[in-house]
Amino acid sequence: MKIFFLNPPMMSGVRYMKEVGRCGRKTVAGELWPQTGLAYLAAVALKEGCGVRLIDAMASNETVEDLVKIIGGFAPELIIIHTTTPTFQNDACVLAHLKKAHPAVYAFVGTHVSALPEESLRRSDADFVFINEAEATLREVILKWDVGQVGIAGLAIRRDGEILAASECPYISDLDSLPFPARHLLPNEKYHMPFFEGEPFATIIPTRGCPWKCTFCRAGKVWGGRIRARSSENVIAEIVEMKRTLGIRNVVFMTDSLTLDKRWVNRFLDGVLEEGLQFRWICNSRVDAVDLEMLKKMKRAGCLLVSYGLESGNQAILDAAKKRIKLEDSRNAIRLTRKAGLLSMAYFIIGLPGETAETIEESIRFARELEPDYVNFHVATPFPGTELYDIAHKNGWLATDDWNQYEEEGSAVLRTEALTAQDLVSAQRRAMRKFYLRPSRILKELARLRNWGQLKARFRAAAAMAGALRKK
């Protein structure tokens, strides 16, 4: 059996970052993220003896016409396409073009189709979609290919013009049983982000699942509400193999909070230090899940930056969003991260329920008070599968059901009781200006530069940000 895995191009030419388990967003500073989710699926297919081809057209710039030729030469039986909410309409169009030229079986995978499987089938020519975690489901598809996909858990399918929804597949309990992602199939040299100064990087998924139930997040829906962790030895083995075979020494850990289980973190850090494993990495954490000793050890083990979801400078909004943190937790986390010698990134969300012009100003003042190294203000986006989507839909706050508009950068698709969608977009740009366009911040960034490569990376990021801020 031959399977073709595809991250399709955008017909508009705009590039999107489509991280595994995430919602997708436009590139801001020219960065592009690896297709680790597709690489996991490709590894499963290879393990089952399938012929495999993987194309990340977003990175390697293949057009739809190029893909028609490539698929024709490979002649796959199954074509699996990664999609997200803001790219779904584009991806459905690409699928239709490909299916017209090559009538194979086509499937979607990704957060959007996991949240809306039946609708995704109605709005596309896909034959089936994967729901949530797809590796075990794909293995079943391969093993039962000759008898069809009806009855396989983890799929919604189209059969004889009728859409059949299947039950969700159980989450994989032993993540160490999965093969490492087939990164050799990816254009790794194309994946860059400013923090790694132009060098390629990879994403690694050490854990899946999230026990928190933040209203704006669908991580629990995609990965489940219980944390499932790979062994620290398995994660370290993946890093060692990646460095040895591909020469990649920069890593972003794709998990909502690397530090929730302190015992696991310490085993991992001790293993990295004992191995003398030289690599640079970035991770996410909750503000209430770090301490100074841990952060110092993280730095010794190669960590550069820790990202935190602060979300708001107003406690009532945090409580309504079920964030379950206190403002003092945020103050403490940023302070300790700075004391440990690590960079910090603080994420805020503008437009959560209860937001007003006054609470937005509170968030801006809070960000300036804490003075993290970097900050990003997103517009609240009610992605399907989140409680926020259900709340917005119930209250009539959705400005549009055009999935193209469901982005966190530069657009808004909902309003609050006090603010319009355009108010939120304007507030986002104002917040970014107030934080970054201060003499103290500009001088701080200049003092941080050590070489020409850093200067170029910062210039690209600044230019992209300035362009976004100019758009009204």
* The pair of three-digit structure tokens given for residue 465, joined into one six-digit string: 């940000």
**Higher-pLDDT residue of 25, 73:** 73
* The pair of three-digit structure tokens given for residue 369, joined into one six-digit string: 């008070």
Between the alpha carbon of residue 261 and those of residues 24, 230, 238, 258, 296, the distances in Å are 27, 12, 20, 8, 17
* Confidence at residue 256, expressed as pLDDT on a 0 to 100 scale: 83
* Confidence at residue 467, expressed as pLDDT on a 0 to 100 scale: 39
Per-residue buried b or exposed e for 305-344, using 16+ beta carbons within 10 Å of the residue's own CB: bbbbbbbbbbeebbebbebebebebbebbbebbbebebbb
Domain C-terminal end among 138, 165, 192: 165
177/171 Cα distance (integer angstroms): 13
Q: What is the mean pLDDT of the chain?
A: 90
* Confidence at residue 470, expressed as pLDDT on a 0 to 100 scale: 36
183 within some domain: no
Question: Is the confidence at residue 452, as pLDDT, over 60?
Answer: no
In DSSP terms, which residues pair with 203 in a beta bridge? Answer: 252
93 touches 11 (CB < 8 A): yes
What confidence category does residue 468 fall into, taking pLDDT thresholds of 50, 70 and 90? very low
Question: Is the confidence at residue 439, as pLDDT, over 90?
Answer: no
Question: Is the confidence at residue 312, as pLDDT, over 60?
Answer: yes
Strands 51-56, 128-130: pairing is unpaired
Strands 25-26, 16-17: pairing is antiparallel
Question: Is the confidence at residue 29, as pLDDT, over 70?
Answer: no
* Confidence at residue 219, expressed as pLDDT on a 0 to 100 scale: 79
* Confidence at residue 194, expressed as pLDDT on a 0 to 100 scale: 80
Are both 248 and 132 inside the same structural domain?
no
191 within some domain: no
What confidence category does residue 453 fall into, taking pLDDT thresholds of 50, 70 and 90? low
**Higher-pLDDT residue of 462, 61:** 61
Question: Is the confidence at residue 462, as pLDDT, over 60?
Answer: no
**pLDDT per residue over 401-419, tens digit each?**
889 888 766 678 988 889 9
The closest of 357, 404, 356, 363 to 381, measured between CA atoms, is 404
**pLDDT per residue over 250-305, tens digit each?**
999 998 889 999 999 999 999 999 999 999 999 999 999 999 999 999 999 999 99
* Range ranked top by mean pLDDT from 4-13, 19-28, 65-74: 65-74
The closest of 117, 114, 120 to 91, measured between CA atoms, is 120
Looking up residue 106, the CATH number of its domain turns out to be 3.40.50.2300
Looking at 85-172, list the stretches that DSSP marks H as alpha helix, in order from N- to C-terminal side. 88-101, 111-115, 117-122, 135-143
**pLDDT per residue over 208-242, tens digit each?**
988 888 999 887 777 888 899 999 999 999 999 99
Are both 94 and 236 inside the same structural domain?
no
Nearest-Å Rg of the Cα atoms of the chain is 22
189 within some domain: no
DSSP character at residue 390 = H
Are both 275 and 401 inside the same structural domain?
yes
172 within some domain: no
**pLDDT per residue over 363-391, tens digit each?**
999 999 999 999 999 999 999 889 999 99
What confidence category does residue 24 fall into, taking pLDDT thresholds of 50, 70 and 90? low
What confidence category does residue 3 fall into, taking pLDDT thresholds of 50, 70 and 90? very high
138 touches 130 (CB < 8 A): yes
43/52 Cα distance (integer angstroms): 9
192 touches 31 (CB < 8 A): yes
Amino acid at position 270, single letter: D
176 within some domain: no
Are both 225 and 343 inside the same structural domain?
yes
321/200 Cα distance (integer angstroms): 36
Are both 277 and 410 inside the same structural domain?
yes
Are both 131 and 76 inside the same structural domain?
yes
Are both 270 and 385 inside the same structural domain?
yes
**Residue range of the domain that includes 430:** 205-470
**pLDDT per residue over 147-199, tens digit each?**
888 889 999 999 888 898 777 788 999 999 999 999 999 999 999 888 888 89
Report residue 444: phi and psi, to 5°.
-65, -40
Looking up residue 459, the CATH number of its domain turns out to be 3.20.20.70
Q: How many domains does the chain have?
A: 2
408 within some domain: yes
Cα pseudo-dihedral 122, 123, 125, 126, rounded to 10 = -70
Are both 330 and 232 inside the same structural domain?
yes
Cβ atoms within 10 Å, residue 147 = 9
217 within some domain: yes
Are both 135 and 30 inside the same structural domain?
yes
**Higher-pLDDT residue of 472, 394:** 394
Are both 210 and 153 inside the same structural domain?
no
* Confidence at residue 51, expressed as pLDDT on a 0 to 100 scale: 98
Domain C-terminal end among 105, 138, 165: 165
* Confidence at residue 410, expressed as pLDDT on a 0 to 100 scale: 62
450/278 Cα distance (integer angstroms): 20
Are both 370 and 307 inside the same structural domain?
yes
Instruction: Report DSSP letters for 360-385, one per residue.
Output: HHHHHHHHHHH--SEEEEEEP---TT
Are both 152 and 225 inside the same structural domain?
no
186 within some domain: no
**pLDDT per residue over 36-94, tens digit each?**
999 999 999 999 999 999 999 999 999 999 999 999 999 999 999 999 999 999 999 99
